[in-house]
Amino acid sequence: MNAKASQQKDNDDLTRVGPDTVMGALMRRYWLPAMQSSELEAGGAPVRLLLLGEKLVAWRSPQGSVGVMDHRCPHRNASLFFGRNEEDGLRCIYHGWQFNVEGRCVEVPNIPTGDDFKTRVKTTAYQAYERHGIVWVYMGDPAMAPPVPKIEVMDAEEGDLEIEFALRECNWMQALEGDIDTSHLGFLHVGNIEPDDLLPDDPMRYVVANRAPRLEVAEAPWGTTYCATKRTPSGGRYLRYANFMFPCWTQAPQGQFENNLFSRAWVPMDDTHTMSITLLWKKRGNLFRTMANGEPLPGVAPLALLPNTSDWLGRFRCVQNPRNDYLIDREAQRSNRIFSGIENIGMQDQAVTESMGPITDRTREQLAPSDLMIARTRRRLLQAARALAADGTQPPGVDDPFVYRMARSGDMMVEGEASWQETYETKIREAVRLGE
C-alpha cells in the first residue's frame, strides 16, 4: 500500500462510524450523550434520533421510561416515528404492532394467533439512562454494557451544570480536532487583540504576546493530553492544558485549571454530522475575560439556535450556518474589530471546520509541529479501534470509568522548572474536586 492509500485508509477508519466500521465498533463500547431529556414528553410524540449512522426513534412512555429503537417497524419497515405512544408501548400506525421500551413486541392485533406470534418478534432497541437532563444511549452488546463514565463535571450539583447542544455539519473527528488545536486561539479567536488591550493580570496576555506556543504531548489513561508553554517576564511559565478523552470527548483550557470543570462530547450522528454537547460547571472560571477598557471581548456573543424541527437533522441547528456564510461581517474583519468577522467563539470554530468539507481529505494536509496533539490523538484512536477489531482489546475508559476523573484542562501561572507532567500531578491534587 502506497503512502497516499495508507493515509486514505487511516482517514476512512477514523471517520466512518456505521455498525460495520472499526471506529463505529469502538464508539459502541461506550455510553454516549445523545439528546436532552426535555425533548421527550411522557406519553408524547417520538423524536427522530440519528446516532452513529443509525436512524432511530426516541420516546418516553406514559410511565416516564425512555425507549430508543430502530425507527423501522420490523413488520414492513414503516417508520415508528408516526407511532402512537400508548400505555403498553409504541404502536405502529400501519398494522397496530406494538413495542415496549426494550424493543419487545407486546401486541400484533392484525393476526388471529397474535399472542403466539408476538413472542418471536423483537426490534433493535438500545439501553438509555438519564442524568442532568441528558439522555445517554449505549448501542453495544447489552451483555457488555460498561459503567457510566466518571467525567468529573457530571458530579456537579443539580442546577450547577450548564449544558449546550449544537449541530455541526461535518465529520465528528474534524470537529473534535478544533478543540485540541491550541495555536488557533491566538488567531481565529483573539487575532485582533494585543497585550495592552487586556488587564495586566489577564493570562490571555501571554497568548496574544506569543502566538506560537511550545507544545508538549503525551498519551494518558483517558486518551491524550497536551501542555502549551510560554515564558512570563518574571521568568515563570504560563501553561495551558487540554485533553482528548475516549471515545469523543475534549477538555479545552477555557478557564483556570483549579476550577475549570468543562467537558465537550463530539457525538457522531453519522459520517458527516456531529452533535456538540458541552457541559460547563457554572462556578468555573472564564477564558474570555473583560478587556482593559471594561468592554467584553469582541466576537464573544451568545449562541443562537433555530427552532427544532422533526427532521433527522432538525435538532439544535445554528442560526449562523454555511447557507448564510455564518453571518460573517466583512467590515468587522477589515477594521480588525473581530479577527474572523464572525460573532460567537463556537461559530468561528464551526465555520472553519465545516469549510473543510463534510469529511476533510487528510491526504492533502501538511501537518506542522503545532499539530502534534492532533497527530497523536489520531494515532491513539486508530490504535485502539484496530486493536479492538483485531483481538477484542477493550479501549481506554470502558472497564475503568474512573480514569476520566484525573483529566482536567485549564491555564495556570507557575514558577520553577518542574516538568509539565509533574506540575499537572501537583496541581490536580490542589484543584477543586467535585464528588469527593
Point out the domain boundary residue: 144, 161, 182: 144
Contact 121, 113 (CB under 8 A): no
> Does 20 map to a domain?
no
Task: Say yes or no: 89 and 112 in one domain.
Answer: yes
Q: What is the pLDDT of residue 380?
A: 98
Q: How many domains does the chain have?
A: 2
Whether 103 and 196 map to the same domain: the answer is no
**Would you say residue 14 lies in a domain?**
no
The domain in which residue 362 lies consists of: 152-430
Q: What is the mean pLDDT of residues 298-327?
A: 96
Threshold 0.75, pTM exceeds = yes
Q: Is the model's pLDDT at 92 over the cut of 90?
A: yes
**Nine-digit cell at 385?**
479501534
In this structure, are 166 and 302 located in the same domain?
A: yes
The pLDDT value given to residue 298: 86
Q: Per-residue confidence at 295, pLDDT binned at 50, 70, 90? A: confident
Same-domain check for residues 172 and 264: yes
| Shared domain check, 156 and 123 | no
Q: Is residue 117 part of a domain?
A: yes
What's the confidence (pLDDT) of residue 436?
A: 66
Q: What percent of the chain has pLDDT over 70?
A: 98
Residues 47 and 194 in one domain: no
Residue 257 resides in a domain: yes
Report the range of poorest mean pLDDT among 241-250, 294-303, 350-359, 404-413. 294-303
Which of 274, 276, 347 has the alpha carbon at shortest distance from 313? 274
Query: What is the tens place of the pLDDT at every residue in 199-253?
Result: 988 888 888 988 988 899 999 999 999 999 988 888 899 999 999 999 999 999 9
Distance in angstroms (rounded) separating the CA atoms of residues 363 and 4 = 6
Q: Based on the domain organization, do 254 and 273 belong to the same domain?
A: yes
- Residue 334 domain-assigned? yes
Average pLDDT over residues 118-144: 95
Q: Looking at the domain assignment, is residue 22 inside a domain?
A: no
Look at residue 425 and tell me whether its pLDDT is greater than 90: yes
Residue 94 lies in a domain: yes
Q: What pLDDT does residue 408 have?
A: 95
Does 423 share its domain with 353? yes
112 shares a domain with 161: no
Query: What's 121's domain CATH number?
Result: 2.102.10.10
pLDDT of residue 288: 63
Answer left, alpha or beta for residue 180, where phi above 0 means left and psi between -120 and 50 means alpha: alpha
Phi, psi of 116 (to 5 degrees): -80, -40
Residues 134 and 168 in one domain: no
At residue 366 the predicted structure's pLDDT band, cuts being 50, 70 and 90, is very high
For residues 256 and 165, the model is more confident at: 165
The residue among 144, 179, 204 that closes a domain is 144
Query: Is pLDDT of 285 > 70?
Result: no
Domain membership of residue 9 (yes or no) is no
For 202, residues 6+ apart whose C-beta sits below 8 A from its C-beta are: 289
Of 98, 114, 144, which one is at a domain's C-terminal end? 144
212 with 318, same domain: the answer is: yes
Using DSSP's 3-state secondary structure scheme, residue 57 falls into: strand
pLDDT on residue 296: 85
CB 256 within 8 Å of CB 274: no
Q: How confident is the model at residue 294 (pLDDT cuts 50, 70, 90)?
A: confident
- Better pLDDT: 138 or 431: 138
pLDDT higher than 70, residue 134: yes
At residue 286 the predicted structure's pLDDT band, cuts being 50, 70 and 90, is low
Q: Are residues 325 and 254 in the same domain?
A: yes
pLDDT, averaged across the chain: 94
- Give yes or no for residue 287 having a pLDDT over 70: no
Query: CA 182, CA 402: separation in Å to the nearest integer?
Result: 26
Structure confidence by residue, pLDDT tens digits, 159-185:
899 999 999 999 999 999 999 998 999
